[in-house]
Amino acid sequence: MSAADGVIVGTTKLVDHGPDSARWNLVLLAEGYQQAELPKFHADADAFVTRLFSTSPYTELWCALNIYRVDVASTDSGADDTAGCTDGPPGTGTGATVNTYFDARFCFDGSTRRLLAGDQDLANDTAKAQVPAKNAVVVIVNTAEYGGSGGLVAWASTNAQSGEIALHELGHSAFSLGDEYGDIYNTYAGGEPDELNLTVDTNRATTRWASLIRAGTPVPTLTNPDCTTENPAPSPVPAGTVGLFEGGNRYHCGLFHAEYACRMRALGNAFCAVCTDRIRATLRQHLPVASVPVRGTQFTGTLAPRQTHQWFTHDWPACWHVIWTVGTTTPVTPGPGIAWHVRVERATRETITYWIEITNLTATSLDIEARYAVAAKD
């Protein structure tokens, strides 16, 4: 039940947007996959990448990320079925153990079945050894039962809902976001917390995210009348409204978060505007910046008088900033010789197809060329 129970097979750069020294690097580790099951891990890792790509603000900042997959083959499959938890599905908690590299197990604390975790230090060290510039680590555990946890690395089973756990935990570990729920504490009486998605300041003019609160939104927006429990009241404002909603950092009262619903309050929600801003502020510096332009001619052709023709060119990296220019190499004067425009198709997560339509505006044949300049790619 340790590193002796498996072997690191290899590392693959799943999403490659440039040098690790400039990007934000996420590492996905396999846990509880036998050698023959690694193709399943590849599919599970792809599914997580797809989920991340569909999650704002990662979608908009996708070009800031590199993602690695580390294939780790374990002796056995799955995770330990720790005995002692009575809150799991029927038939679980048998005490059966499996020999896996990171020693993942349910009921990690001895009493909570859904708490799935393992050897955090080994997982972190493995990720660092494979990707020295790693920013965050998610361990994907090969079991369909719901479970996961956070910390220095995030753990998530392959259950369709478990990916949400990793997204929430990355909010903590990578972006320093606080929890927006209360669970055991009643009223917070401390000062303004470090976490930027929480505040004690209920002054409309000075509160942390004052610039996001519209004039017509009441402040505080939703207070909690019973500080011994969470407030079950529905939102008094439409979804997506930024205001001050009571509860956070495990306190039912005294701390406020920005929207009624947010992934840092309950899973299954989008990140609120304030959390989104925090993630953006961290990732933005990792986006490709202007570089020495790479220029060239993509295609040439001839257009008959008054003819319109469409060309396409595919598999351009979606993260490149490409500038197109179409010109005619046949002298035409006076007046314009051609008209053109570009349509853009996001063909895949990583590639773009450009559709370039060119019209000959004259009564004579014209030779044309389509030129590109890549202004930013690293």
Per CB under 8 A, the list member of 2, 192, 315, 336 interacting with other proteins is 192
Q: In what order do the strands lie in the sheet with 351-360?
A: 308-317, 351-360, 338-346
Per CB under 8 A, the list member of 92, 99, 173, 313 interacting with other proteins is 173
Q: How far is the CB of 115 from other proteins (least distance, A)?
A: 5
33 touches 142 (CB < 8 A): yes
221 counts as binding other proteins under rule CB under 8 A = no
195 counts as binding other proteins under rule CB under 8 A = yes
For residue 331, give every residue at least 6 positions away whose Cβ sits within 8 Å of its Cβ, in sequence order, or none. none
Q: CA 265, 268, 272: angle at the middle one, nearest 5?
A: 50
Both structure tokens of 353:
């197809």
Instruction: List, as one string, the DSSP characters of 255-287.
Output: EEESSS--TTTSTTSPPPHHHHHHHHHHHGGGS
For residue 167, give the DSSP letter.
Answer: H
204 counts as binding other proteins under rule CB under 8 A = no
226 counts as binding other proteins under rule CB under 8 A = no
Give the binding range for other proteins (CB under 8 A) out of 20-28, 296-304, 318-326, 357-365.
20-28
Closest CA to 363 of 322, 275, 304: 304
Q: How far is the CB of 206 from other proteins (least distance, A)?
A: 10
Both structure tokens of 147:
């479970």
Measured in whole angstroms, how far is the alpha carbon of residue 83 from the centre of its chain? 34
126 counts as binding other proteins under rule CB under 8 A = no
60 counts as binding other proteins under rule CB under 8 A = no
151 counts as binding other proteins under rule CB under 8 A = yes
Residues within window 254-283 making contact with other proteins, judged by CB under 8 A: 261, 265-269, 281-282
- Which residues contact other proteins (rule: CB under 8 A)? 19-22, 24-25, 108-112, 114-115, 117, 120-121, 124, 128, 132-133, 135, 146, 148-152, 159, 161-162, 164-165, 168-169, 172-173, 176-179, 181, 183-184, 190-196, 208, 230, 250, 261, 265-269, 281-282, 285-286, 289, 291, 378
